[in-house]
Structure 1
Amino acid sequence: MAVTPQSVRQRRWLTVLAAGTLALTLGSCAALNPVQTLNRTVSTAGLTVQTDLVYGSTERQKLDIYAPQNVRGAPTVLFIHGGSWANGNKEDYRFVGESLARAGYVVGVMNYRLAPQFRYPSYIQDSAQALAFLRSQAARYGGSPDNLFLMGHSAGAFNAVETAVNERWLREAGVPISAVRGVIGLAGPYSYDFRDFPSRNAFPEGGLPDEIMPDRHVRPDAPPHLLLTAENDQTVHPQNAINMERALRAAGAQVERREVARVDHVTIAGALARPLTWLGKTRADVLEFIEAQRLR
């Protein structure tokens, strides 16, 4: 297909839009709100959408549900936003809920309590609690309570992986281990010394990586994982995913690590949006994994 000047300009605009979209949630852009523009390009017509469902007692403990109509027993996916545990909002990820619901899945997009007021493990407990709530509501929207997937970007990927691999969190939330069919991490910081970074304010003072990082917590019956890294990531080093993969393999868990070409730390998530799939293979890789791991 020929590339016209108009299509080049459009792609350049969409690239800027995609970068600005998630940069906003990562705290690097405050003047504009391009996420609203992106979310206006995706329609939820024909989907069931419920917003601000309460899964806990604080203002941030809410989630939105996106579901296709007339489905039964569909995979149920919980998506967790990034933002260095101190920023981000579920409303910014409407495009994720729409994209995955169009693929036939029941999707929860959650908020969680933010640092520095709330530090580890508060946001992990929120992830587990939100998953328990979503599981309790899944059948109402056509999803299966025993066909669960955890998914997150950046800090949210840390939350998703830690919630699944550390046996404590699902047990405390009352979610059966067997109900979680898979975990998807997009550019997550699973194995780093937070004491050397501004994100240290999301962890307990005096806390140590060996006590907190997900790659130190892997249980033998951890669910299958898909760890996606961005070829041009300048924020989270891919060594995090390499270390996480190594820990999962050592525990005997199924894991696949893939690099998404051309994308960076922001656009690896932006490529989940159906209008932006040309940015990279994020959406295709995610759907392939869910289809391979789902209950039939």
Structure 2
Amino acid sequence: MRLSSPSVVRLALLAGALLLGATVTGCSQQSAQDSLNRVVSTGGLTVTTDVVYGTDPRNRMDIYAPAGASAAPVVLFVHGGSWEGGDKAGHKFVGESLARAGYVTAVMNYRLAPANRYPNYVQDTAAALRVLRDSAKSFGGNPDNLFVMGHSAGAFNAVEAVDNERWLREAGVPISAVRGVIGVAGPYSYDFRTMSSARAFPEGALPDDVMPARHVRRDAPPHLLLVAGNDRTVYPQNGEQMKAALDAAGVPVTFTVLPGMGHITIIAAMTRFLTFLGPTRQDVIAFIQARRLP
């Protein structure tokens, strides 16, 4: 892809900000996403916006498909935002990146807290996966070659939706259809009760009731857990404890700590022209390629 001079300047400034900042939150995070999306082109891809998967206004997803795709792997991406913010439109760079790699990719919205607490947003993930699977062939995808990926709160949603067999069963998704789960900087195992994120969970809930690390089924698919070594938003212990839970259940897991990366840098590196920030994109693609159906 050829970038215009203003885009090059904008990208250089963005990359510098990401490299210098250990964490980027709030308006800075939104600004970073907006800058990424302004320099990402979806030319040559088939993009279908606002595909409905439920009755709530936020039950929508955007689908990015490679031109001429046929029986391609299918990826569902779930955005972060502390369960109270974030939007699929801010993650066009993820959909474009994975579609260029040859995957039919859906980037979803979900119902937000505090109006919608656990398990609503997890149920939305499973419901989106059901609709994506049912319609995969129309976008050039293979419905039995599914991967679920999320960043931050979205990684919680992705892992919980697949590892706790209740959610796929209730949504009508065969558990054998999911080939792998990818969690990027996810809060899988922590005590939320004294934190602002308590607003995302039911009154009186305990970590054992809601945390993905407590709900791992023994027949869960392989996992890739990417942890930002310099993350000050979601501490790396979350990934370590999730890995321990997967190991205890005998679930294959690839656990990688990316040194020097922060909570936003690790997902920004999914952008095709920001891979110099770190190996997020390469690791995700290698994981999918190793576990996709032939």
Residue 123 of structure 2 corresponds to 125
Instruction: Output the CA distance in 1 between the equivalents of 2:190 and 2:33.
Output: 29
Deviation at 1:217, TM superposition (A): 0.5
Give the superposed CA RMSD: 2.0
For 1:285 and 1:149, how far apart are their aligned partners in 2? 14
The residue number in structure 1 matching 2:231 is 233
CA distance in 2, matches of 1:151, 1:31: 19
Gaps of 5+ in 2: 1-7
* Residues 19/218 of structure 1: CA separation in 2 closer, same or farther (3 Å cut): farther
CA drift of 1:11 comes to 4.1
The one-letter amino acid paired with 1:111 is N
Question: Aligned to 2:238, what secondary structure does the other structure show?
Answer: helix
2:222 is aligned to 224
1:249–1:98 Cα change, 3 Å: same
Q: Counterpart of 1:291 in 2: which secondary structure?
A: helix
- Determine the C-alpha separation between the residues in 1 that align with 2:85 and 2:20: 16
Alignment of structure 1 residues 93-108 onto 2, 5 Å: 93-108=91-106
Post-superposition CA distance 1:24-72 (Å, at most 9, x none)? xx5x217973423311211101100000111000111000000001121
Aligned partner of 2:73 in structure 1 is 75
> Cα offset for 1:15?
3.1
Task: Quote the residue 2:5 is aligned against.
Answer: none
| Structure-2 separation of matches of 1:47 and 1:18 | 30
Q: CA deviation at 1:13?
A: 3.8
Partner of 1:210: 208
Whole-Å separation in 1 of the counterparts to 2:141 and 2:88 = 20
- CA distance in structure 1 between the partners assigned to 2:101 and 2:135 by the alignment: 19
CA contact (8 A) 1:118 1:202 kept: yes
Instruction: Please state how far the C-alpha of 1:262 moved relative to its aligned partner.
Output: 2.4
Distance 1:110 1:18, change over 3 A: farther
Paired position in structure 2 for 1:196: 194
Instruction: Give, in angstroms, the shift of residue 184 of structure 1.
Output: 0.3
Letter in 1 for 2:257: E
The list of structure 1 runs, each at least 4 consecutive aligned residues, that deviate by more than 3 angstroms after superposition, is 7-13, 17-20, 30-34
How far off its partner does 1:159 sit? Answer: 0.3
Q: How much has 1:261 moved relative to structure 2?
A: 2.6
Task: Find the partner of 2:289 among 267, 285, 291.
Answer: 291
What code does the residue aligned with 2:283 have? D
Which one-letter code corresponds to 1:16 in the other structure?
A
AA of the residue aligned to 1:292: A
Length, aligned pairs only: 286
2:242 — aligned with what?
244
For structure 1, the residue ranges without an aligned partner over 5 or more in a row are 1-6
Structure 2 SS opposite 1:195: coil
Q: Distance in 1 between matches of 2:14 and 2:220?
A: 41
Compute the displacement of 1:219 (Å).
0.5
Deviations 1:216-264 (A, max 9, x none): 1011100100000001101111111111111111111100110123210
Distance change in 2, residues 1:217/1:31 (3 Å): closer
When residues 206 and 101 of structure 1 are mapped into structure 2, their CA distance, relative to the original with a 3 A threshold, is same
Paired-residue identity, %: 61
Q: 1:138-194 CA distances to partner (integer Å, 9 max, x unpaired)?
A: 111111100000000000000000001001000000100100000000000000001
1:197 Cα deviation after fit: 1.0
The answer to whether the Cα contact below 8 Å between 1:190 and 1:240 also exists between their aligned partners in 2 is yes
